[in-house]
Structure formats: C-alpha cells, structure tokens
Amino acid sequence: MHAGMRVRVLFHANCFDGAASAALFTAFYRDKIDPAAEFAYTGMHHTMGNPFPPGCMDAPENVCVDFRYSAAPELTWWFDHHVSAFMSAADEQTFAARPKDRFFFDPGSRSCTKFLVERARAVYGWDASRFDDLVFWADIIDGAQFESARAAVEMAEPALRLMAWIEANKKPELAERYIADLMTKPLAEIEREPYIAGPLADILGKHHGAVEVWRRRAQADGGVVFADVSEDGLEAANKFIPYFLHPECRYAVSISQSSTRTKLSIGSNPWSTIPRSVNIAQICERYGGGGHPVVGAVSLPAGQLPRAREIAAEVVSELKRAVEAEVAAAGR
C-alpha cells in the first residue's frame, strides 16, 4: 500500500463551522483524492497583521478552510466565505490566478461547511449526503438562522451544546479528536463522549453565568447594547445573549479579554424586522479585524484594554447613528 499524502488543514479555531469544514474537507479528500492521506490540523486565530505564523504550512498539501486567504505559494486548497477574507488588494490579485478547482470563495454563503459541500459536489461529484445533519447545523449556527434568541441561548439541541464546547476548548488535541468524530458519529453521540461531556457541564454553567454577567453589565441605548465584560473573566460568550436580554436592540458591542488578547465583538440582531444598513465586517476591518456583514470582531494584543474601549466608543456612536437612520427609513 502506498504512503498517503500528508495534508495540513488550517481551520478557524473555536468555531463550529471551522471544525465542521475541516472534517468535511478531510472526508472529501479521502473520498475523491487520496484514501490513504494523513491529516494534521492547526486552529487559526484572527490577529492584527498576518495571522499565518512561519512554518504553519508544512505539508505537500496545505489547506485553509473558514479562514482568511494567504498568498503563500505553499497553500494548495482554500474554501472561505468571510467578506474580510483578503488582507490586501495584492493578495486578492494572487487569488484570481489560483487554480479554480482548488480555491473557492463566496462571501454570500452563510457557512463555509455548506459552501464546501456544494463546491465539492459541483466540481468533483462528491456525495456528502451522510453529513446532511452536520451541514444543516453548521448553516444554522454560522448563519444565525435560529428561530429565536431564546432558542440560541437555551441551547437545547446537541449541535448548540457542541458549539459551546468548541468555542471554549483550549486543547488542540481535543479539537483534532472532535474533527475526527464529526466524520464518523452523530452529533448526539459526540456530545456523550467523555472528553466532551466532562467539561461541558462546567461550560454550560459558565454560559448561564455569562447571561447574568451580561444582565448586569449591558447598557442599552439608542438601539445598541454595549457590555464591557473584560473584568468578569468572560473570554467568550454566546453572541445571542444581548438580543435575548434586549430584543429591542439592533446591534451589540462587547469587550472581553484573555491572557493572550483583548477582543472587541460586534454583531447585529438577526431577528430585527428593520433592514440593516451597516456592514460590520467593514467596520472591523478599519481597526484590523474582520468577519461577516452581520457579525465581526477586532483582536488587539493583551493589555490594550484602553484602546479597545476607545474603539468601542467610536463603534457604538456609529451604530447609534445607523439605527436612527434605519428607523427613519423604515418609517417607524
């Protein structure tokens, strides 16, 4: 038996869609390219400047899914759907020259997982029907297609609890195990695995605590809810909590921090009936961040809390002006 191709998969870390995309690319590659391929995974984080560390593309095949584009010649496959995918116009020009059967981009897709499956089916004839449930939930989660803020916050479905787990996980080896499980097991079965179920109880307890922290910290004014949770130990929280607590608000801005970064998160209420006028990804790009038109983030180095608060004040003011214009345009 021949030795399989070595494949390095770079994926959006701490993200349900990122892990699902990594799992489905692996399944696709083994089904259609090389059944004996050997895979290794690296979770990627958005940072100021180039997020790709030296040496991260160390295999004959280097794949990046659900994350920014890299002009590095070592990159051989790419699937993404983020509006802020390109770090520069020069990078975007190199993408235009890449092989069209290996480099795929669609900022209109709600999830990278579903986009990957659709392109692999269209270009390679890949049948991914065995992953229909995973694709369904990745599209719901990354596209914020929940029926209500309560459903998103209460997390009654296994997929939503797995979302909470991957967002909180700090062990790369467990992320790799999770990606492997996504290829072979139903979501409800994965949730019962000891490496998931063990920490999940604590994660869900912290989630309920985060709701209470937001309840104390949130300041809702002019259609925008803001919370500075940087001193509450919340490195990450369910992004739908603001709209669960303040359904009248159009946008949410928050500040959090960890030992490695200070983060500004910006989102829009997916249940609002008034059309959104701002592109949140573009707002984040002005400060070195990125994301989607409906949600994004700016990551600053650890210790830059004063700068994060300055940015937050600017963004909140901008969003309040946008809300005023949106409400006026809607005649309300």
What confidence tens digit (pLDDT) does each residue in 115-152 have?
999 999 999 999 999 999 999 999 999 988 999 999 99
Q: Where are the alpha helices (DSSP H) in the chain?
A: 16-32, 89-96, 112-124, 132-142, 149-154, 158-168, 172-182, 187-192, 194-217, 241-245, 280-286, 305-329
Burial string for 259-283 (b: 16+ CB within 10 Å, else e) reads: eebbbbbbbbbbebeeebebbbbeb
290-291: strand order across its sheet: 219-221, 224-228, 251-257, 261-268, 295-301, 290-291
Residue by residue, DSSP assigns 294-310 as: SEEEEEEETT-HHHHHH
Cα–Cα distances (Å) from 43 to 49, 51, 62, in that order, read: 17, 11, 13
pLDDT in the model for residue 1 = 44
Report the pLDDT value the prediction gives residue 251, as an integer from 0 to 100. 97
Q: Which tokens belong to 15?
A: 């993200």
Residue 178 in tokens: 């999770």
How far from 58 is each of 7, 51, 80, 226, CA to CA, in Å?
9, 16, 21, 42
User: Count H helices, E strands: the chain?
Assistant: 12, 11
Walk me through the domains of the chain, giving residue ranges and CATH numbers.
Answer: 6-192 (3.90.1640), 219-329 (3.10.310.30)
Closest CA to 152 of 16, 266, 45: 16
What are 206's two structure tokens? 């912290």
Give which of 229, 27, 233, 24 is closest to 116, Cα–Cα.
Answer: 24
CA distances to 8, 11, 96, 132, 256 from 21, rounded to whole Å, are 13, 8, 22, 13, 27
Closest CA to 138 of 160, 164, 107: 160
pLDDT of residue 2: 60
DSSP state, 143?
Answer: T
Task: Report the distance separating Cα 111 and Cα 131, nearest Å.
Answer: 14
Residues 40 and 170: their CA atoms lie apart, in Å, by 17
- pTM of the complete model: 0.83
The tokens for 30 are 């083994």
Question: For residue range 246-298, what is the model confidence (pLDDT) as tens digits?
Answer: 999 999 999 999 888 899 999 999 999 999 999 999 999 999 998 889 999 99
CA distances from residue 61 to 7, 29, 34, 289 in whole angstroms, order as listed:
5, 11, 11, 28
CA–CA dist 257, 177 (Å, integer): 27
- Cα 14 from Cα 26, distance rounded (Å): 18
Rounded (5°) CA angle 263-265-268 = 175
Write down the residue that tokens 């050997």 correspond to.
38
- Which residues of the chain fall short of a pLDDT of 70? 1-2
Pairing of strands 295-301, 6-12: unpaired
